[in-house]
């Protein structure tokens, strides 16, 4: 049984916090404004998710969980030039890992390649709708027509393990599955006189937009007629024009103080195949246009974004209101993104770390990516607790790394089994134990949870201790092993150093000690006290393992403050040693989490470790070694 799964705290739901977004949702629930609260997590699949995304995942899924609602997982994949299947798969894995056993029952999914169901209201309004298909029979019935159009026959029963099962009938939502609907809505805007085809080049478009302190000027093609605009837009879709030759723009206000309302682009031409939609399209919607309508199509009630989208909200509302849509409109709310000390979250800068070999891939355990976090051995519950405890605000601030690290330590202290390991070994010979003799001792698996029991550890004539647990010339108040001094070998007995053996060059070979076997458990002098207790492993029974000692990747609190962030790489961000481990660790699994006593918390490396060659990663030290 894995250490991670034996602790009750691992998947425990933290007490629901209070914040301004939850207060808004609570008021909407109290006023019965919506039949069900529906949020979404909509990453663009152009990179790996990181800890900042984890905050958003926990907020959106947390609100759904707390209110009996749904949180849709949507791939916001409207830019074919930057998106890849690799990122879709990594995002899916990361979200599943973070919500599994916590909010997976609130996960909203659809059948693969399901398209929104088109309908027309009695008063002639066009509507597209695609609710989650995996949540209940009602949603399934409403979505049946969409699934039939997609050639799927998904069951109507709930399936909360969909992301874990590669053969599941369900998948994340994809904005690219809405391309037909989005295109139809764009034609509606043209027909309403609220959008036009523009022939300005990208450079001219930027020039005409103006600046925050200078109004823009209208495009020469702003007053094109509806029929001409429809014709040109349809020819854009047909592939008649080259990339950048024409765009579709909203007709709003070129003098608006909000530059995002100065006739923003809605569609652009890109003759590029799409990772999900194939080569059907050569015109693609821009994010601001696709974002609000994707929310509407899915029936999202609360669209939660970070603060940089505050200035985009008027455009979000304008598009939805301009179309005069028949169902209730979603509303956008903004919160401050996570800024964590000693950490970078910029995708561009993280990609540079990967491409220039500063780290060994997106899942390097030093990276703030969820893949790297998982590989390092940090439990999902620790991330959820961290996200809940840091709060949700409307102002940017820097979160101390100690807050994050303490959340990890708290979770692992409660859940990790204890084991003995020596990272930098020196040999001890216990001269009063015969060669080949084995004395069985018992070590507790978790001092705070007696129900986890104990395990045998063998005391033999030769054992290993840490090199820094010995000092030939000790400093004042040194209570570990020193000439003529005594220490207790944890779970075993007290030993006394009698002799230091060195080779001809003066290098330490071994320490010869006497074991006081009467101080073992169950023996008459077990209560005899000494000031120092150290860990050890039997030399005869120890197994070798590579241990990677990870530390902070950057040496300064705000590495992204300028473009010279590579100058702040910590040269000691990883140290690799060959350690001696107690033999029970030969049976470790990737789900297990351990505290190597007196050393820190460790987990098997999910990529490189094999039964024949164990590789452990240090997840975190027992204490903050950077604290002043």
CA distance 274 to 75: 13
99 sits in the region (left: phi over 0; alpha: psi -120 to 50; else beta) called: alpha
Mean pLDDT of 595-615: 97
Task: Indicate if the pLDDT at residue 267 is higher than 90.
Answer: yes
Q: What is the pLDDT of residue 17?
A: 81
Token digits for 545?
């393992």
DSSP three-state, residue 71: strand
Banded pLDDT at 169 (limits 50, 70, 90): confident
Mean pLDDT of 486-499: 97
For tokens 């309302």, the residue is 261
pTM, full prediction: 0.90
Q: What is the pLDDT of residue 136?
A: 58
pLDDT per residue as tens digits for the range 566-580: 999 999 999 999 999
For a pLDDT cut of 70, what percent of the chain falls above it? 92
CA distance 515 to 525: 12
pLDDT per residue as tens digits for the range 318-329: 999 999 999 999
Give the number of other CB atoms < 10 A from CB of residue 390.
19
DSSP three-state, residue 5: helix
Give the number of other CB atoms < 10 A from CB of residue 181.
22
Mean pLDDT of 122-129: 93
Mean pLDDT in the chain? Answer: 92
Q: What is the pLDDT of residue 157?
A: 34
Banded pLDDT at 137 (limits 50, 70, 90): very low
For a pLDDT cut of 90, what percent of the chain falls above it? 89
CA distance 63 to 67: 6
Token digits for 45?
């699949």
Mean pLDDT of 10-33: 85
pLDDT per residue as tens digits for the range 215-257: 999 999 999 999 999 999 999 999 999 999 999 999 999 999 9
Mean pLDDT of 398-405: 96
CA distance 238 to 393: 46
Q: What is the pLDDT of residue 624?
A: 84
Domains delineated in the chain: 179-285 (3.90.800.10), 421-535 (2.40.240.10)
CA distance 65 to 38: 10
- The residue ranking higher by pLDDT, 108 or 625, is 108
**198, 283, 371, 423 from 377: Cα distances, Å:** 52, 43, 10, 18
pLDDT per residue as tens digits for the range 421-463: 999 999 999 999 999 999 999 999 999 999 999 999 999 999 9
Task: Indicate if the pLDDT at residue 151 is higher than 50.
Answer: no
Q: What is the pLDDT of residue 142?
A: 41
Q: Which residues contact 186 (CB under 8 A, 6 or more apart)?
A: 195, 233, 248, 266, 267, 285, 289
Give the number of other CB atoms < 10 A from CB of residue 76.
21
Task: Indicate if the pLDDT at residue 8 is higher than 50.
Answer: no
Banded pLDDT at 11 (limits 50, 70, 90): low
- The residue ranking higher by pLDDT, 146 or 153, is 146
**48, 97, 354, 487, 495 from 531: Cα distances, Å:** 49, 44, 47, 7, 12
Q: What is the pLDDT of residue 158?
A: 39
pLDDT per residue as tens digits for the range 63-117: 999 999 999 999 999 999 999 999 999 999 999 999 999 999 999 999 999 999 9
Banded pLDDT at 1 (limits 50, 70, 90): very low
Banded pLDDT at 154 (limits 50, 70, 90): very low
């Amino acid at each position: 049984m894995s250490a991670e799964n034996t602790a009750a705290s691992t998947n425990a739901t933290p007490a629901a916090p209070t914040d301004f977004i939850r207060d808004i949702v609570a008021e909407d629930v109290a006023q019965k404004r919506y039949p069900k609260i529906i949020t979404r997590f909509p990453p663009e699949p152009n990179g790996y998710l990181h800890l900042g995304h984890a905050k958003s995942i926990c907020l959106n899924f947390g609100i759904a969980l707390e209110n009996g609602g749904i949180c849709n997982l949507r791939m916001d994949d409207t830019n074919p030039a930057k998106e890849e299947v690799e990122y879709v798969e990594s995002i899916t894995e990361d979200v599943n890992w973070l919500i599994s056993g916590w909010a997976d029952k609130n996960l909203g999914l659809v059948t693969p390649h399901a398209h929104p169901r088109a309908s027309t209201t009695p008063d002639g309004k066009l509507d597209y709708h695609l609710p989650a298909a995996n949540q209940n029979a009602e949603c399934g019935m409403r979505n049946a027509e969409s699934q039939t159009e997609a050639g799927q026959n998904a069951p109507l029963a709930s399936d909360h393990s969909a992301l874990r099962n590669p053969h599941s009938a369900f998948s994340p939502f994809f904005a690219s599955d809405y391309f037909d609907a989005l295109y139809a809505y764009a034609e509606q805007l043209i027909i309403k006189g609220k959008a036009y085809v523009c022939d300005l080049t990208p450079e001219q478009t930027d020039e005409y937009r103006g600046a925050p302190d200078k109004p823009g000027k209208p495009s020469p093609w702003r007053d094109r007629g509806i029929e001409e605009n429809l014709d040109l837009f349809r020819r854009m879709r047909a592939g008649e024009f080259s990339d950048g030759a024409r765009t579709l723009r909203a007709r709003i206000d070129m003098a608006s103080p909000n530059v995002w309302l100065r006739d923003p682009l809605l569609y652009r031409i890109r003759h590029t195949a799409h990772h999900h939609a194939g080569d059907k399209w050569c015109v693609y919607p821009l994010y601001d246009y696709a974002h609000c309508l994707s929310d509407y199509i899915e029936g999202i009630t609360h669209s939660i974004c970070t603060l940089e989208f505050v200035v985009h909200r008027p455009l979000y509302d304008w598009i939805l209101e301009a179309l005069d849509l028949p169902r209730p409109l979603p509303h956008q709310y903004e919160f401050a993104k996570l800024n964590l000390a000693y950490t970078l979250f910029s995708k561009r800068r993280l990609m540079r770390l990967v491409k220039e070999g500063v780290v060994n891939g997106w899942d390097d355990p030093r990276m703030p990516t969820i893949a790297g976090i998982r590989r390092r051995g940090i439990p999902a519950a620790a991330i959820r607790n961290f996200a809940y405890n840091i709060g949700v605000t409307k102002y940017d601030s820097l979160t101390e790394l100690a807050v994050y690290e303490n959340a990890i330590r708290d979770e692992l202290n409660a859940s990790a089994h204890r084991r003995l390991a020596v990272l930098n070994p020196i040999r001890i010979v216990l001269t009063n134990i015969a060669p080949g003799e084995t004395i069985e001792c018992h070590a507790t698996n978790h001092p705070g949870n007696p129900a986890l029991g104990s395990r045998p550890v063998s005391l033999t004539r030769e054992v290993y201790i840490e090199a820094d647990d010995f000092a030939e010339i000790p400093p004042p108040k040194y209570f570990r092993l020193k000439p003529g001094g005594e220490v207790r070998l944890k779970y075993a007995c007290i030993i006394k150093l009698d002799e230091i053996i060195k080779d001809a060059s003066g290098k330490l070979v071994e320490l010869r000690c006497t074991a006081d076997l009467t101080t073992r458990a169950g023996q008459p002098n077990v209560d005899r006290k000494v000031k120092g207790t150290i860990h050890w492993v039997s030399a005869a029974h120890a197994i070798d393992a590579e241990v990677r000692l990870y530390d902070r990747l950057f040496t300064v609190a705000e590495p992204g403050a300028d473009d010279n962030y590579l100058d702040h790489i910590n040269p000691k961000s990883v140290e690799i040693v060959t350690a001696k481990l107690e033999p029970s660790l030969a049976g470790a699994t990737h789900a297990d989490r351990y505290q190597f006593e007196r050393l820190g918390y460790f987990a098997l490396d999910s990529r490189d470790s094999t039964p024949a060659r164990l590789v452990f990663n240090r997840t975190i030290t027992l204490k903050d070694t950077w604290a002043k």
